[in-house]
Amino acid sequence: MINIKNKKLAINGGIPVTAQSVLIHKPYLDENDFQAINETARTTFVSGNGPACIEFEKKLANYLGAKHALYTNSCTTALDLAFKVKNFPEGSEVIVPNFTYTSSALGPLLNKLKIVLCDVYSDNGNIDISKIEALITEKTVAIVAVDYAGNPAEMDEINEIAKRYNLYVVHDTAQSIGSRYKGKLTGTLSDLATFSFHGTKNLTTGEGGALITNNDELAKRIIFMREKGTDKQSFQVDNKRRGFYEYVDIGSSFVQSNILCALGILRFDL
């Protein structure tokens, strides 16, 4: 037992309580996780978008109260897809907070859009809503809002500005699974939201991400685009279509391994 009473904190020149660094993001995995991974691997469905992925998506959508939860191999690819699906004209502008992880800006940049940086509040790192409107031009198409360190951005005000100027809102909820804004879970507060299940996050599947939306059209196209532009997902949901799929859209490979999903499913079975 360490008696810290009347002791100077290490940051103020006191003696550190441990010589080792304390990891702030060490994931907690136990025997149930190892067993679930083992069992899923034994099904031999090891590639992407398998039955475990579909089950994880259902549990996630159900937890959030959202229509569509679409599992991807990272939040970064989810952000890329969030813009790819919209086909905004090259050079269109997207307002992004000037304090965030690179991926919030990569979504627009990978789709040849221009990022316009907006100041954040110095006390919590979230986008300063009083600074957004001055950045809107006739080229602006979207706003990216980030929940820095899990603290939700002011989504009512951001959605209200977006509505006034007819802008698309992508809510980068990478850091905020389980957080609530005015009683509602983050992920359900915008046109589309993107979670991260990287090893540093509260819910991890090793790597991974998800797009959350209530928009059927966006969801339908994203399902094709994440699977190399094919309608291969029909394998999973329609038995009559087993063995047949078609090339229907542009896309890339943004699906996540069925094995890793086992970790995600368990988080909802606690």
Ligand X SMILES: Cc1ncc(COP(=O)(O)O)c(C=O)c1O
Task: Provide the binding-site residues for ligand X, judged by CB under 6 A.
Answer: 74-76, 100-101, 103-104, 146, 172, 174-175, 196, 198, 209
Q: Write out the E strands in the chain.
A: 68-72, 93-97, 114-118, 140-146, 168-172, 180-181, 184-185, 192-196, 209-213
Residue 230 or 256: the one with the smaller Cβ distance to ligand X is: 256
Query: Please, are residues 66 and 187 in contact by the beta-carbon 8 Å criterion?
Result: yes
Residue 52 or 81: the one with the smaller Cβ distance to ligand X is: 81
Per the document, the length of the chain is 270
The helix/strand/coil state of 188 is coil
Least Å distance, CB 232 to ligand X, is 23
Least Å distance, CB 143 to ligand X, is 14
Residue 140 or 175: the one with the smaller Cβ distance to ligand X is: 175
Which of 61, 73, 37 has its CA nearest to residue 196?
73
Least Å distance, CB 234 to ligand X, is 27
Least Å distance, CB 242 to ligand X, is 31
The helix/strand/coil state of 93 is strand
Report d(CA 55, CA 213) in Å as an integer: 17
Which of 28, 31, 42, 48 has its CA nearest to residue 209?
48
Write the CB contacts of 156 (distance below 8 Å, at least 6 apart in sequence).
182
Residue 105 or 129: the one with the smaller Cβ distance to ligand X is: 105
Residue 50 or 97: the one with the smaller Cβ distance to ligand X is: 97
Least Å distance, CB 256 to ligand X, is 10
